[in-house]
Structure 1
Amino acid sequence: MSRARAALPWLLALAVIAAGLAWFLATHHRVEKIVPMPPRGEASYNPLYALKLALRAEGQRAESRQRLQLAEMALAPGDTLLVYSDPRALTYDQLDALFLFAEAGGHLVLRLPPWREDEPFVGDLADWLPIEPELLDPHCMDLFVASEEDHVEFCRAPRFQLAEDAEVSAAWRTRDGHHVFARFPYGDGSVDLLGDLEMVDNGSLDEGPHLAFARQLLAPNWGKGRFHLVYAADMPPLWRWLLTHAWAFLLPLLLALLAWLWMRMQRFGPLLPSPMPPRRSLLEHVEASGEHLLRYGKAGTLHRALRDAVLARLRRRDPLAAAQDGETQAALVAARVDTAAAQVRDTLDTRPPANTTEFRHRIARLIDLRKRL
């Protein structure tokens, strides 16, 4: 009976747990939810990272670089070079080398500068391509791809106008006849010019129309050579980037540094006279200390200190005599300094001086003995 009563609380607890578990399983079910995570690694700073992976998945040789490094890239006929950033950051010599690469059979993909109403100019591109030097304001363009939803693209991209004698092999233009994309034959290769390249960056290649556009954009040299993707040719030097973007952090830091320096700097007040140099020599200090001890009845301390100094010298000069005591020691020391043993015994006497006169006599004898050792 007692065992049943002891087991009853445990059985009730198990029943409650079982009921709760049954209720949980009946009212809840497992689901999968995809949560977009922020990009990490190269995807966080390379906007063409997804395009590079897509090209490699198609069996193409693709490389991405932050800057335009022509010597290391070793461009060859049949290669494709895509410059993602503002072409105005490229020097005249770099542009000349790029168009020579296109003329030898390469495929060059460039974009227009970002639209600015106060600066609507193409830059040096008009010197190589048959386009007008002035940019036109942005205007959306409809993009239709079979079995895909309709898209509207190039809404923030500037447009350009072809020159009268321009020859193009492919072009996209808005309803008013101005272009957002054109492919120009250039020697044995070709040059593509677009309003922007947002449709091939990391945030766009997950949509079918953008993938189809990227495939058509890179078609001229598909399977012939390497794909070079330059994503930040306009990246300024670090010091200029800090001055442009990090001033909100650097300015308070500079003010804090200046405040700390102001707190720590030397205060300049009225001129003070230079401190007087010490006028007492070491011997004068020792003499003054001795006079002080003697005045306050410490003659025994001074006598004992000098006697210890004499014995210390004796231990260095004659260890055997120093190891003796009494008459033996007095006789050995007397023989060494050529004097009477009784005089040595009185000199090394441990009794403190009775008065000042005796103190001075005994100090004089100790000094004389120390000199003669």
Structure 2
Amino acid sequence: MKPRPVLYALLGAALVGAFVAWWLHTYKRVEEWIDLPRTGEAVSNPLHGLRLSLAQQGRRVRAARRLDPTAMRLGRHDTVLYDGDPRAIDGRLSRQLDSWLAGGGRLVIATPPPDAAADAMTAARGRAGHLPVPLLDRHGVHSRTGRPACIDLGNGGGQLFCRGRRFDVAGPVRIRWGNAADGLVHARVPAGAGELDVLADLDFLTTDSLQGRGNAELARQLFGPRGRGGTIHLVHVVDMPSLWLMLLREGWRVWLPLLLALAGWLAARRVRFGPLLPSPLPGRRSLLEHVDASGEHQWRYGHGDRLHAALRDAFHARLRRRDPQAAALDGEAQIAQLVARLRLPAAHIRDALKTPAVRDAKSLVARIATLVRMRNRL
């Protein structure tokens, strides 16, 4: 074996060994956690993280899509968290909740979300300052109108209730958070043997918000005092906007150009202001008037024979269609055949087929009339 290939093989092995040694010396195994995208209920229900957290603490938790005290079989020591607009609770549900609260239940609910249109309508009705909410008003809780304001937790805990509507309580409370000047953000109001917890908003209980230290502590305090006896019902209501509101918010890219096009078309078709335009002149001659004028023109310039020839050609054309045998004849034989068919004198037929003199108006009219009569009798 030649020494040169052996040298090349040893050199390649040395390079591979050096690369492996460098890799093993510099390589370091590192673990990395990657959050997978959420699926199922974790996407559609913002209270999914709260349900899992309470279940890990040994609490009995149930999730619901709508508030139905009969179907939920609420017990005396149960807690209901209603994540929805309290104005959507009708009179029947409101009476059922009041009866359940009087028996020892606990309801956690938030004031309606800020809505400038609702505040304006409330002010127009002479109720400026408080938004009417029947369920809360019966327990002395009055929701304020106006812009929301945050509460700073301090010590790096962040801010809460930045999108909530503050409220006032006219009556005894067991827990109060806030002041009379700025309004309350949390109050626990006694309701018979039960309790009504009212908050400015429930955003701190969502899955993403619970990762904050201050939010988790507040959630623990909110659900801790009731002990482990009752079931916690988490009701997340999906408020679907109306079709017209959805089209207004999401479909403006379509309806706005169409509206502009319609406005432009209407502007082009609108009545113009200015002096009145004269009405268009009607047609000066009808069809018969044009025919008469053409005949008079031919006669004036000595072409009466053309008028006679045109009508004679029309007669022969119909004769060929109705009686080809008579049309094939010539001279007196054809005249005799026409006399038998048309029942007209032979002299009249003979004169009608001859061209009249150029300026003989009476002869032209008589022969044209005879041709018309002969044509109609075919």
The yes-or-no answer on 1:218 pairing with 2:217 is no
Please list the CA deviations of residues 128-183 of structure 1 after superposition, one character each: whole Å capped at 9, or x if unmatched: 22123543431121225xxx6333211221211222xx110001115844101111
- Does structure 1 conserve the Cα–Cα contact (< 8 Å) formed by 2:144 and 2:165? no
Please list the CA deviations of residues 105-133 of structure 1 after superposition, one character each: whole Å capped at 9, or x if unmatched: 11100011111233232532343221235
Q: 2:176 aligns with which of 171, 182, 193?
A: 171
**Counterpart of 1:158?**
165
| CA distance 1:59–1:133, shift in 2 (3 Å) | closer
| CA distance 1:233–1:220, shift in 2 (3 Å) | farther
The yes-or-no answer on 1:143 pairing with 2:153 is yes
| CA distance 1:100–1:8, shift in 2 (3 Å) | farther
In structure 2, runs of 5+ residues without a counterpart are 120-130, 256-378
| CA distance 1:106–1:241, shift in 2 (3 Å) | farther
| CA distance 1:175–1:129, shift in 2 (3 Å) | closer
Partner-residue secondary structure (3-state), 1:30: coil
Distance in 2 (CA, whole Å) between partners of 1:12 and 1:206 is 57
Please list the CA deviations of residues 234-285 of structure 1 after superposition, one character each: whole Å capped at 9, or x if unmatched: 3468x7897577647998xxxxxxxxxxxxxxxxxxxxxxxxxxxxxxxxxx
The yes-or-no answer on 1:59 pairing with 2:58 is yes
Q: What does 1:21-40 align with in structure 2 at a 5 Å threshold?
A: 21-40=20-39
Q: What does 1:193-204 align with in structure 2 at a 5 Å threshold?
A: 193-204=198-209
Structure 1 vs Structure 2 CA RMSD: 3.0
Give the Å deviation of 1:65: 1.5
Q: What does 1:44-83 align with in structure 2 at a 5 Å threshold?
A: 44-83=43-82
| Bigger mean CA offset, 135-144 vs 186-195 | 135-144
**Counterpart of 2:95?**
96
Distance in 2 (CA, whole Å) between partners of 1:191 and 1:161 is 14
Partner-residue secondary structure (3-state), 1:205: helix
Distance in 2 (CA, whole Å) between partners of 1:247 and 1:113 is 26
Paired positions, count: 246
| Bigger mean CA offset, 107-116 vs 213-222 | 213-222
TM (norm. structure 2) is: 0.58
| CA distance 1:201–1:177, shift in 2 (3 Å) | same
Distance in 2 (CA, whole Å) between partners of 1:241 and 1:224 is 43
Please list the CA deviations of residues 299-339 of structure 1 after superposition, one character each: whole Å capped at 9, or x if unmatched: xxxxxxxxxxxxxxxxxxxxxxxxxxxxxxxxxxxxxxxxx
- Does structure 2 conserve the Cα–Cα contact (< 8 Å) formed by 1:80 and 1:228? yes
| CA distance 1:101–1:244, shift in 2 (3 Å) | farther
TM (norm. structure 1) is: 0.58
Equivalent pairs: percent with the same residue? 34
In structure 1, runs of 5+ residues without a counterpart are 252-373
Distance in 1 (CA, whole Å) between partners of 2:27 and 2:21 is 10
| CA distance 1:139–1:67, shift in 2 (3 Å) | same
Give the Å deviation of 1:225: 1.0
**Counterpart of 1:124?**
134
